[in-house]
Amino acid sequence: MNDWATSGVDLHLDLVGGAGARAGLERALREAVRVGRLAPGTRLPSSRALAKDLGLARNTVAEAYGQLVAEGWLTARQGSGTHVADGRRPSARRGQAAVPRGTGQGAPGDRLTGTSGYLPDPERFAYDLRPGSPDLSSFPRAVWSAAARRALAAAPHQAFGYTDPRGRPELREALAAYLGRVRGVRTRPELLTVCSGFVQAVGLLGRALRAGGARRVAVETPGYAHTVEILRRARLTTVPLPVDDNGAQVGVLGNDVDAALLTPAHQFPTGCPLSPERRTAVVAWARATGAVVVEDDYDGEFRYDRQPVGALQGLAPEHVVYAGTASKSLAPGLRLAWLALPPALVEPVLDEKRLADHHSPVLDQLTLAELIVSGAYDRHVRRMRLHYRRRRDRLVATLAERVPAVRVSGIAAGLHVVLRLPPGTPAAQVVAEAAAQGLGLQSLDEFGGQDTEELVVGYGTPPEHAFAGALDALCALLDARTRRRG
């Protein structure tokens, strides 16, 4: 039957006849959220008002609300009422099976393959263990808000006009000091350019290199497939640069390559650092040939078992472009990245920046500068380093206990690990099975790797409340695969 609740909002519910009152109400609310009739963020009537309108006991409505909050369909906070959760798909609770939404949910063909850090529609998975994203639930909202208020109060009037394409001087000065202190980068504020995310940074740099006569760029393989696409759209030819346990095989670089894009601190996705011998060799190559090395330091802050590897840029700032971002340390939604450029590349990159968007958003730049100068950014990074180390340790220990046939590597740093499956276990099949169960995974071959028996598992992505369930789902899947092989 159809009922209406009119308590500030009209709420149409299809209560199923014959079902218990609470079960019927829960089912009606789930269906309304699932099909989109109740949009994310919608405030629901109070339990007292809805009970009165539906002719139900208030406890019945309160218990139904409580159950749907526990399942993730609704959210409730003291003093602010009950709302539809931000995502239409709730996160499964620990111990529950992750059931996909609709047919073909999370099928590999439905997503951008091998984009490694660009995760479309993450809510289609009950649990998302794809690499490339931090724990967004840990974004320091209160700290960021306080810094934004201080930065806004202190900002000069000129900050709100068209500003230097390189970015606000407050942020460039703060970054120059921070990067030198923490990552060993040798730069000055006038050599830094703030970009609207790493994607823009690579695009600007690629077009500037092309305008300067560059034609061929070596790119680590496996690596960020999205980066290859960006460079090709800048009309550059990309050359695969093989990777082994010592990082990129820079010894194969020759005079016919104009630039090389590396992840020396923590190769993506294999997780190995560039060895000291190869760091020396690639700098010597750049100096001898006049080539440019682009250092993508995407998660250099997160090293757990020893001191962080210093930036390669510190060895040869005249030949190495340092590219950093707040996407892993804070959140990708901020769209804040930076390039520490050799002097010869500053104007070519600025020419491209002026044409792209003139300058990146000012308020977020000022806020990040305030975070760094106040020390709040350092404190947040240290807190997140401990947070992710605990997650890594828990992942490694749980796999060793429940699926000992799986080997784990690339664990010294970053937000992901590589899992080698037992011989004869195709990783692509495991990814497909995981997707059918609502678990997001990626295989090494999606990043250009040739090994078909390795998974790349990101342990940073799940929010804190979902991490235990994500581990359970992963181990259950891998254990089932191992048993079938046996």
DSSP string over 258-311: -EEEE--SS-TTT-PPPPHHHHHHHHHHHHHHT-EEEEE-TTTT-B-SSPPPPP
Q: What is the pLDDT of residues 397-428, one digit of tens each?
A: 999 999 999 999 999 999 999 999 999 899 99
pLDDT digits (tens, 9 = 90+) for 369-404: 999 999 999 999 999 999 999 999 999 999 999 999
Q: Contact 465/122 with Cβ under 8 angstroms?
A: no
Between 9 and 339, the more confident residue is 339
20 confidence band (pLDDT: 50, 70, 90) = confident
Comparing 24-38, 211-225, 263-277, the range with the smallest average pLDDT is 24-38
How confident is the model over 461-482, as pLDDT tens digits? 998 889 999 999 999 999 988 7
Task: Say what the pLDDT of residue 107 is.
Answer: 30
Q: Which CATH architecture has domain 141-374?
A: 3-Layer(aba) Sandwich (3.40)
Decide the pairing of beta strands 416-420 and 454-458.
antiparallel
Work out the percent of the chain whose per-residue pLDDT is above 70.
Answer: 87
Beta-carbon neighbour count of residue 38 at 10 Å?
23
Whether the predicted pLDDT of 77 surpasses 90: no
pLDDT at 90: 43
Task: Please determine, for residue 432, whether its predicted confidence score (pLDDT) is greater than 60.
Answer: yes
Can you give the pLDDT at residue 88?
43
Task: Report pLDDT for 401.
Answer: 96
Q: How far apart are the first and last CA of the chain?
A: 53
Judge contact between 137 and 466, C-beta under 8 A: no
Two structure tokens written together for 98: 């992750």
Does the structure show a pLDDT above 50 at 109?
no
SS3 386: helix
If DSSP codes are grouped into helix, strand and coil, which group holds residue 82? Answer: strand
d(CA 314, CA 45): 59
pLDDT confidence of residue 105: 30
What's the pLDDT tens digit per position in 289-332?
Answer: 999 999 999 888 898 877 777 899 999 999 999 999 999 999 99
Mean pLDDT in residue range 437-449: 90
Q: What is the CA radius of gyration of the chain?
A: 25
Torsion of CA 237, 243, 247, 250, to 10 degrees: -50
Homologous superfamily, domain 108-133+379-485: Aspartate Aminotransferase, domain 1 (3.90.1150.10)
Residue 81 pLDDT exceeds 60 = yes
Q: What string of DSSP letters covers 160-179?
A: GSS--TT--HHHHHHHHHHH
DSSP string, 31-75: HHHHTTSS-TTPBPPPHHHHHHHHT--HHHHHHHHHHHHHHTSEE
**Report for 24-28, 124-128, 130-134: range of highest mean pLDDT:** 130-134
| Average pLDDT, rounded, for the chain | 86
Q: Which residue has the higher pLDDT, 120 or 441?
A: 441
What are the boundaries of each domain within the chain? 2-84, 108-133+379-485, 141-374
Question: Phi and psi for 253 in degrees, rounded to 5?
Answer: -65, 135
Q: In this predicted structure, what is the pLDDT of residue 121?
A: 55
Residue 464 burial by Cβ neighbours in a 10 Å radius (0-12, 13-18, 19+): exposed
The three-class DSSP label of residue 240 is strand
Amino acid identity of residue 265, one-letter, is A
Q: What is the pLDDT of residues 326-384, one digit of tens each?
A: 999 999 999 999 999 999 999 999 999 999 999 999 999 999 999 999 999 999 999 99
Residue 8 Ramachandran class (φ > 0 left, ψ -120 to 50 alpha, else beta) = left
Q: Is the dihedral of CA 19, 20, 21, 26 positive or negative?
A: negative
380 near 331, Cβ under 8 Å?
A: no
d(CA 262, CA 28): 53
pLDDT at 201: 96
Assign 114 a pLDDT band (cuts: 50, 70, 90): very low
Instruction: Give every CB contact of residue 55 below 8 A, 6+ residues apart in sequence.
Output: none
Query: Is residue 5 predicted with pLDDT exceeding 90?
Result: no
- Whether the per-residue pLDDT at 166 is higher than 90: the answer is yes
Assigned CATH class of 2-84: mainly alpha
Given pLDDT bands bounded at 50, 70 and 90, which one contains residue 129? very high
What does the block give as tokens for 102? 């609709």
Instruction: Tell me how many degrees the CA angle 399-413-458 measures, rounded to the nearest 5.
Output: 50
Which among 231, 174, 196 has a CA at the least distance from the CA of 337? 196
How far are the Cα atoms of 203, 227, 228, 267 from residue 245, in angstroms, in the given order? 29, 22, 22, 10
